[in-house]
Amino acid sequence: MAGGARRRAVRPAGRLEFWNDAGQRQACGRRASEEGPLLNMARHGRLVALIWAIADDVLRDLYVRGKYRDVILPFTVLRRLDSVLEPTRDNVVQTNIALTDAGIVNRDAALRQAAGQDFYNTSGFTLRDLRSVSSAARLRLDFEAYLDGFSPNVQEVLDNFEFRNQIPRLTKADALGSLIEKFLDPSLDLSPHGLDNHGMGTVFEELVRRFNEENNEEAGEHWTPRDAVRLMTRLMFEPIADQIQSGSYLLYDGAMGTGGMLTVAEETLQQLTSARGHKVKTHLFGQEINAETYAIAKADLILKGEGEAADNVVGGPEWSTLSNDAFAGREFDFMLSNPPYGKSWKTDQERMGGAKNIRDPRFVVGHAGDPEYSLVTRSSDGQLMFLANLISKMKHNTALGSRIAEVHNGSSLFTGDAGQGESNIRRWVIENDWLEAIVALPLKMFYNTGIATYVWVLSNRKEERRKGKVQLIDATEWFTPLRKNLGEKAVELGSGDSDRVLKTFLAFDQADDPDHSKIFDNRDFGYSKIMVERPLRIVGAEEGRVYKAAEIKKLKEDSKRDENAPALIKKVLPYSAQPDPLHGLYQVVIDGKTRVVQYEPDTELRDSEQVPLNEPGGQYADGIEAFFRREVLPYAPDAWIDDTKTKIGYEISFTRHFYKPAPMRTLAEIQADIRALEAETEDLISEIAGGAP
């Protein structure tokens, strides 16, 4: 497999500590790695609470609550890295001096080795050293030197957090020293002796989650609820869990956010394979345009001891997935994303040369005989282009191929006319038989929106029973209400709800639940959009005369349309031409000779019709002719189809397929209402009559 193997560092775990009723910290005989899940959860929660308390204590009068994260998240990263690097500080400093004296410029690999980590600091400072600095000005200089000493991967995290921008403010308020002091408090033990890498990652992710909940208006942009992510990863892995052998697998997220999807996917894959006795290595790759969320994702991986994985994620304002693909030419085993919905990508479009000049092979492909089949959507919403990006990275030469889970809003199912980018993507996906299923999620699942959302599940290795088929699952009624809303999020997918979705998915055509699961042929979602033309009829036109373009233009300007007037002939075809009224080739007499002609179409009468691809042809050549003769010609006998403008489109209507009409009221209920109204009316009349003089 391509990509560097992830390496999990094995470190000695510290002793488990607890706080007695007197508030004193005591140690017990078990190591942190031996703690049970409940103790771990409680301990992690306590650390999060302590860090949260630091924010309230030190930053309350300096920052609004929603901006605490600008300081606390990078400071948490620094404290952890500082404690991890402390034992090898001197070795790193000496190695750096030796390499510098030897004139070696590229020192990164050697310094990582000296630190025994995938990161290092050459400044010679630790946070404990900085705690003793009494002068605010000196502290600022030393702290900046300390930051400058970190390895390039940590520098990238700090730069994307824009943490250095906070230092003048913290120094001016004399808060920098207080932050260092409080993060060094023995009760907040973020060292490897007190907290293993997984535990540190859990604490950091919990901090991020709490900050996102504080900023409900932003959370949904970068933070997909864990219950939704777990369902997506289960849909991606569980259908082929028995086929995943020991080995290395590449995971990719093209709209990475804070990296939660990748880490949950990694955990899910590890759990499924270890339960089957297999050992797998996972390599995580991701791309994210938002600087802060990218910094969070990279920091999270570094804190978990996954430095090599952190090197495989790319982000920042210059790294838009659509216009600047960081992994062009790469292929991945498993991919998942939650791309932005309804968000303009016009800036990306302009960077790529404009809508008409995009040549990126991810978005201009060969399909249906068209070597330049466009998957470029309208600039107002680029979410389906993120799906095209994932598909471009599918593996086609391995036994498992690739599997994709991506969440979209409802517009991805139907927006875009036939021939437009959105419809072309749906057509491309379905006609290549990559779409396994779409799952409609409950409303109010996400933090900043209550709209309908859908998980698309794709594979280029469909099992035999799924070939040529698509499963639609309506899971909108399968949820567990939250006790308290988190922004717009009012429900979650409990384990039982997710189990029900997976059971229905795996059952496929054996799922005995037509109200929630339906199976369709691929062609059921396709249609032909036909252009229906009718001849231009102008008062004063001569029957049997062929008009030139200039004459037709003048007649349009000077005369009136009349449906009883003769149709204007614009072209006479060669004698060998055969009449075909269905497609606008009519037989008329011109100068005493029978000829085949074309009429000038009336643009004001032009119309279009959508004909399902599976429309039965019956006695006619195809379904289009059958539809046209049944639905159009009885009402417009002179109409024809302009074949040159026929386009194929695809749309998926959950509403139509799962429509549940409201039950009609019974006659007894209606009669009861009428009697009640009659009685109320009689009472009103009695009151009026009784009150009359």
pLDDT tens-place string over residues 400-414 = 999 999 999 999 999
Q: Which residues form the domain of 86?
A: 15-211
Cβ-in-10-Å burial (0-12, 13-18, 19+) of 169 comes to middle
Same domain, 335 and 362: yes
pLDDT at 24 over 50: no
* Prediction pTM value: 0.83
Give the tokens for residue 436.
Answer: 């396994």
- Rg (Cα) of the chain, in Å, rounded? 34
- The C-alpha atoms of residue 306 and residue 200 are separated, in whole angstroms, by 12
Of the pLDDT bands very low, low, confident and very high (cuts 50, 70, 90), residue 39 is low
Does residue 683 form part of some domain? no
* DSSP-derived pairing of the beta strands 313-315 and 370-374: unpaired
Same domain, 300 and 277: yes
Same domain, 606 and 501: no
Same domain, 248 and 165: no
- The C-alpha atoms of residue 301 and residue 315 are separated, in whole angstroms, by 14
Does residue 360 form part of some domain? yes
> Comparing 18-22, 78-82, 261-265, 485-489, which segment has the lowest mean pLDDT?
18-22
The runs of H, that is alpha helices, within 304-450 are: 307-310, 346-351, 383-391, 411-414, 421-431
CA 514 to chain centre: 28
Question: How many Cα atoms occupy the beta-carbon half-sphere of 409 within 13 Å?
Answer: 16
Does residue 121 form part of some domain? yes
Of the pLDDT bands very low, low, confident and very high (cuts 50, 70, 90), residue 342 is confident
Q: Residue 451 sits in a domain of what CATH number?
A: 3.40.50.150
- The C-alpha atoms of residue 650 and residue 423 are separated, in whole angstroms, by 5
Same domain, 185 and 271: no
Give the tokens for residue 680.
Answer: 């109320």
- The C-alpha atoms of residue 469 and residue 522 are separated, in whole angstroms, by 5
Tokens 């009640």 appear where? 676
pLDDT at 21 over 60: no
CA 666 to chain centre: 45
- The C-alpha atoms of residue 181 and residue 143 are separated, in whole angstroms, by 13
Per-residue pLDDT at 9: 37
Same domain, 203 and 344: no
Same domain, 125 and 193: yes
Domain closes at, from 487, 512, 527: 527
Same domain, 454 and 537: no
Does residue 113 form part of some domain? yes
**pLDDT tens digits along 210-261:** 887 776 544 445 468 889 999 999 999 999 999 999 999 999 999 998 888 9
pLDDT at 20 over 70: no
Of the pLDDT bands very low, low, confident and very high (cuts 50, 70, 90), residue 2 is very low
The total number of structural domains in the chain stands at 3
State the amino acid at position 28 in one-letter form: C
Per-residue pLDDT at 512: 86
Does residue 1 form part of some domain? no
